Amino acid sequence: MPPTAENITAIILAGGRGQRMGGQDKGLLPLAGRPLIAHVIERIRPQVGEIVISANRNHEHYSRFGYPVFADAAPDWPGPLAGLLAGFAVTDSEWVLTLPCDTPRLPQDLAARMISATMEADAEICTVQASGRIQAAFMLVSRRLEADLRDYIDAGGRRVQSWQEAHHRALAEYPEADRAFDNINTPEQLQQLERELKDNR
């Protein structure tokens, strides 16, 4: 079944350690008076059929956003692929779209572009190429790859791009993405974005 907005579940990845943020849970850090993840939810909500949240702590806080919250499929903070695998178990959607919780400027046509690229290439997985760089954490994946992903993780695989490149992968192109896909990784980056938002008011 080809991807459509209605048969895609967005998995917001909030399961990281936040090491460069001093171990803080990045998705819950405030930006312009709201948690970072709230900005991501606001942008992705009109683009997909469902939303779920992958988090390894603070489930009570994340559940207040009104969406299912679940932990990684493997222990010891194994990374985005574990969140993707666990996400397949909590949704019936034929396709899932992963995106990090700390990308508050993600494009409002993200799902549409990824759907188009996937269908054009007849692919089972799609990721973003923004200003010439692969943004592997943003991926649209068919449920048909669930078993393959489980085998990859069970064998110790963790690298997102390595798993993606083992399959026929489409690229959704953003030639002039500016900073739409930038992560907020440090307190300084968060403060800078806060200042920019204030200047644009």
Enumerate the known binding-site residues: 13-15, 26, 72, 102
CA–CA gap between residue 182 and residue 169 (Å, rounded): 22
Q: What are the tokens at 29?
A: 């850090």
Q: Which of 151, 15, 142, 137 is nearest to 78 (CA)?
A: 15
Strands 125-130 and 169-174: parallel
Q: What angle do CA 99, 100, 103 make, to 5 degrees?
A: 105
The binding site for GTP consists of: 13-15, 26, 72, 102
Contact criterion met (CB below 8 Å) for 47 and 54: no
The binding site for Mg(2+) consists of: 102
Q: What are the tokens at 39?
A: 């900005």
Query: Environment class of residue 40 by beta-carbon count within 10 Å: exposed (0-12), middle (13-18) or buried (19+)?
Result: buried
CA–CA gap between residue 197 and residue 201 (Å, rounded): 7
